[in-house]
Amino acid sequence: MNAGIDLAPVVALVGNPNCGKTALFNALTGSRQKVANYPGVTVEKKAGRLTTPDGRTVEIVDLPGTYSLRARSPDEEITRDAVLGKLASERAPDLIVCVADASNLRLALRLALELKHVGRPVMMALNMMDIAKKRGIEIDLAVLARELGMPVVSSVAVRRGGTDRLLDALDDRLAVHQPMSAADWRAPDAAALRGAQGEADRVLRAAVRNPGHLDPTTARVDAVLLHPVAGLVILLALLFVMFQAVFAWARPLMELISEGFTWLGVVVAQAPLPEIARSFLKDGLIAGVGSVIVFLPQIVILFLFILLLEDLGYMARAAFLMDRIMGGAGLHGRAFIPLLSSFACAIPGIMATRVIDDRRDRLTTILVAPLMTCSARIPVYTLIISAFIPDRPVWGFVGLQGLVMFGLYAAGITAALAVSFVAKRLFWRTTAGEPFMLELPDYKIPQARSLAMGVMARALAFLKRAGTTILSMMILIWALASFPQPPEGATEPAINYSLAARIGHAIEPVTTPLGFNWQINVALIPGMAAREVAVGALGTIYAVDAGEGAAEKIGKVLAGQWPLATALALLAWYVFAPQCASTLAVIRRETGGWRWMAVTFFYMLALAYAAALATNQIARALGAG
Amino acid sequence: MSNPPIIALGDARVGYRGRIRALDLDRAPAAGLPPPELERRLIELGFVEGAAVELLHQGLFGGDPIAVRVAATTIALRRREAMAVMVSAETVP
């Protein structure tokens, strides 16, 4: 990259939520874009490059949507600071493009008037002109430009050539040196906002005919989808399909990936390398990378659904329908999708909390997401239930084993609701609850290209994360389970000589009240890599041959070795315990620091300990010791 | 002719059509925000005097939240915040 490109002028896209800004950004930059985080915050940064017709390279930044520069959330603070050139990590924009939905101009005009006051060159891109025309809205661009006092061009982000006028305008504006006055922007008070909206309404009357009618399609669809009863039923059905998709459709792909990595491990195991190098490659590196990549299908499917619903305009409706239900537990209406996805895996679930604008609501959701029973707990639950819980019917028609499984799920959900209820009061006591106020945009047909690019960007962001934080944790766990090496002539399994085994023995006094022996403690350490790994680890420790029917054999051995109280306590432990390094790593990445990861780890550990302790003691008292 | 009554938008029923007369923050003591902030947010979402409003939808539990057409935009909010928006059914000012 040469110096000329690095000094490319910066153009910032600013606009209301749902104005089609991201579609325009995608149309402008194509594949030359990347999604990252602004340093230290959880806000997504989308930037890309384009080349104008005159051959000028321009850096385009898609800033989070906002109604005003008066920032109310971390996202909107980024928009404000970026526009004002106050972000230390970013270059100040050379040109601000205010993107407006031509079919919904009123609030955008007020934002445009506000942007005029920041002392930087501003222009307006009237997006979705095609939709406005179809709806009979007539906009006089010349009058609009004159009344607003800034150049105005029309654009149709979703059509080929729809951005030509905007690109030409960028050349015109960037060719001449624009005077910049010192930013004298100050947060407007209510009177100033009222005045600005009055002025915006005046501009609207002057330049636009027929602006205000409700889109008939949206009205018809909403009559069903926002119906108090039918709307909720449809939402639940939709959620079921989504859950099913993340859970079931992803499975074949996940198995394929998993088998691929297992095969790779076998290949490496036969390589002529020292034993320790082979173990590192197979059990540390390949198993570590594999256990993370395996989540990719779930993440792609989940984000496909989320972005599809978002682009359709349904996400805001779903929040509307769920607001009261989630609100009772102190959760935001938008928290239900992340929490639902967490039943498959907390990692995509935590990533999906990005749909929640308010930081506190988002943190609460991240905090409780790992309590949802993820699919990695299922092998552990199945192993213990089938080994210890008799397969007999209760009340004539329900299987006892199924009932226990259901109880474990219910315990997770109840705990999540209770924790969010407490967290709201404990952490955010001093500030009043964020009010639920959001725009319900008109329904729009999603664009396949824009959708694909959104999913791709998130998949890449996940893989990057997997390659750094998560992988290093996996290697650490491997090292704990592998060093020191067993001595010459060792008879026991290698893991029994490792640091993990020493830790297992050392913490035995703490885990004895839970009914856990040192073997369980040891199994829990590789279980940090992925919950289900604990099953294999128990097999290793109790020296059960792996292979066909291994889980069943392990179950038989355990049933002979553990009292029932221990098995039940281990189940209780698994409902709550922070037994997943990847989840913790994702929390660290998503919250931008160690603090919330530590909070999650310790509150879950405390819950798990208390639950296992109570289960073990009560079960013993009832004679299951 | 008597003037149509001025009511709080938070008390309106589905199908109500009217025009915003004033923002009265004292009427929304249960709102989740201090009054000056609530006022600014309402204005930012287009709730200014003179704007036409129509209550389009409401939620299942307690008729909350509500979806309101404000001029050319549809906004969802809770009734406790909508209490600050004073409206009357009069269609021509």
A538 contacts A527 by C-beta, under 8 angstroms: no
Q: Does the pLDDT at position A121 exceed 50?
A: yes
The pLDDT value recorded for residue A212 is: 65
Does A472 have pLDDT greater than 70? yes
Nearest to A435 among B32, B61, B69 (CB): B32
- Which of A1-10, B22-31, B74-83 is predicted with the least confidence, judged by mean pLDDT? A1-10
Is A115 an 8 Å CB contact of chain B? Answer: no
Residue A537: pLDDT band (50, 70, 90) is confident
With bands split at pLDDT 50, 70 and 90, how would you rate the model's confidence at B93?
Answer: very low
Q: Identify the pLDDT of residue A178.
A: 67
Q: What share of chain A is helix, strand, coil (3-state, %, to 5)?
A: 60, 10, 30
Model pLDDT for residues A291-318, shown as the tens digit of each residue: 667 778 877 887 888 888 888 888 889 8
pLDDT digits 0-9 by tens, A499-524: 888 888 898 999 999 999 888 888 88
The C-alpha atoms of residue A252 and residue A297 are separated, in whole angstroms, by 9
Q: Write the CB contacts of A156 (distance below 8 Å, at least 6 apart in sequence).
A: A127, A128, A129, A130, A162, A163
Lowest mean pLDDT among A338-342, A382-386, A463-467, B27-31: A463-467
Range in A75-84, A207-216, A565-574 the model is least confident about: A207-216
Say if residue A455's pLDDT is above 80: yes
Which residue of A190, A324, A432 is in closest CB contact with B61?
A324
Strand A152-154, strand A57-62: pairing? unpaired
Domain ranges of chain B: 6-89
Check whether A418 has a pLDDT greater than 70.
yes
**Angle, vertex CA B54, rays to CA B50 and CA B57, nearest 5:** 150
Candidate ranges A385-394, A484-493, A575-584; pick with highest mean pLDDT: A575-584
pTM exceeds cut of 0.90: no
What average pLDDT does the segment A318-334 reach? 82
pLDDT of A5: 45
- Mean local confidence (pLDDT), A483-494: 78
Measuring CA to CA, how many Å separate A521 from each of A263, A370, A481, A501? 29, 21, 12, 8
Give the pLDDT band (50/70/90) at residue B79: very high
Residue A366's alpha-carbon distances to A108, A356, A409, in angstroms, are 32, 10, 18
The answer to whether A394 and A400 have CB atoms below 8 angstroms apart is: yes
The answer to whether A317 touches A226, Cβ cutoff 8 Å, is: yes
Highest mean pLDDT among A65-74, A146-155, A209-218, A275-284: A146-155
Q: Give the whole-angstrom CA distance, residue A148 versus residue A145.
A: 5
> Nearest-CA residue of chain A relative to B40?
A190
Instruction: Inspect the interface and report whether the beta carbons of A107 and B73 lie closer than 8 Å.
Output: yes
Phi and psi, residue B66, nearest 5° = -120, 155
Mean pLDDT of the region A479-490: 80
Nearest to B33 among A228, A321, A435 (CB): A435
Q: What is the pLDDT of residues A157-186, one digit of tens each?
A: 777 778 888 999 888 888 876 666 656 678
Of residues A410 and A548, more confidently modeled: A410
Helix (H) or strand (E) run with residue A573 in it: helix A564-576
Looking at the complex, report in whole angstroms how far the Cα of residue A25 sits from the nearest Cα belonging to chain B: 23
What is the average pLDDT across B38-62? Answer: 92
Does A16 contact chain B (CB < 8 Å)?
Answer: no
CA–CA distance, A419 with A83 (Å, rounded to integer) = 38
At residue A101, the 3 state secondary structure works out as strand
Categorize the per-residue pLDDT at A552 as very low, low, confident or very high, splitting at 50, 70 and 90: confident
Highest-confidence range of A250-264, A575-589, B37-51, by mean pLDDT? B37-51
Least confident range from A409-413, A508-512, A551-555: namely: A551-555
- Tokens for B68, please give them: 């309101």
Kindly state whether A205 is in contact with chain B, defined as any CB-CB distance less than 8 angstroms.
no
Please check the confidence at residue A41 and state whether its pLDDT lies above 50.
yes
B74 touches chain A (CB under 8 A): yes
Of residues A333 and A618, more confidence is placed in A618
More confident residue, A615 or A4: A615
d(CA B38, CA A256): 53
* pLDDT value at A3 more than 50: no
Neighbour-count burial of A2, counting CB atoms closer than 10 A to its CB (0-12 exposed, 13-18 middle, 19+ buried): exposed
CATH code that applies to domain B6-89:
2.30.30.90
Chain A residues touching B31 at Cβ < 8 A: 435
Count of C-beta atoms within a 10 Å radius of residue A454: 23
3-state class of B87 per DSSP?
strand
Least confident of A133-147, A244-258, A584-598, B40-54: A244-258
pLDDT band at residue A429 under the 50/70/90 scheme: low
- Grade residue A433 by pLDDT with cuts at 50, 70 and 90: low
Please tell me the least confidently modeled range out of A6-10, A89-93, A143-147, A283-287. Answer: A283-287
The least confident of A60-64, A75-79, A332-336, A615-619 is A332-336
N-term to C-term CA, chain B: 14
Using the beta-carbon criterion (under 8 Å), do B41 and A437 form an inter-chain contact? yes
Q: Is A50 helix (H, G, I), strand (E, B) or coil?
A: strand
- Residue B48 banded pLDDT, cuts 50, 70, 90: very high
How many CA atoms within 13 Å lie on the side-chain side of A92?
Answer: 11
- Tokens standing for A43? 């806000």
Burial-class residue A177 by CB neighbours within 10 Å (0-12, 13-18, 19+). Answer: exposed
CB contact at 8 A, A32 and A52: no
HSE at residue A382, side-chain half, CA atoms within 13 A, is: 10
- Identify whether the C-beta of residue B40 lies closer than 8 Å to the C-beta of residue B59: no
End-to-end CA distance of chain A: 69
Q: Is the dihedral of CA A550, A551, A552, A558 positive or negative?
A: positive
What number is the average pLDDT over the span A50-73? 87
Regarding predicted confidence, which is higher, A266 or B19? B19
Q: What is the mean pLDDT of residues B21-29?
A: 89
| Interface touch A320/B76, C-beta < 8 Å | yes
Where residue B66 falls among pLDDT bands split at 50, 70, 90?
Answer: very high
pLDDT of residue B51: 92
User: Mean pLDDT score of chain B, rounded to an integer?
Assistant: 88
Burial degree of A216 (CB within 10 A; 0-12, 13-18, 19+): exposed
Rounded to the nearest integer, the mean pLDDT of chain A is 83
pLDDT at A2: 42
* Contacts B74 to A, Cβ<8 Å: 214, 218, 439-441
Say if CB A7 and CB A58 are below 8 A apart: no
Interface contact A222, partner B, CB < 8 A: yes
Mean pLDDT within A328-345:
78
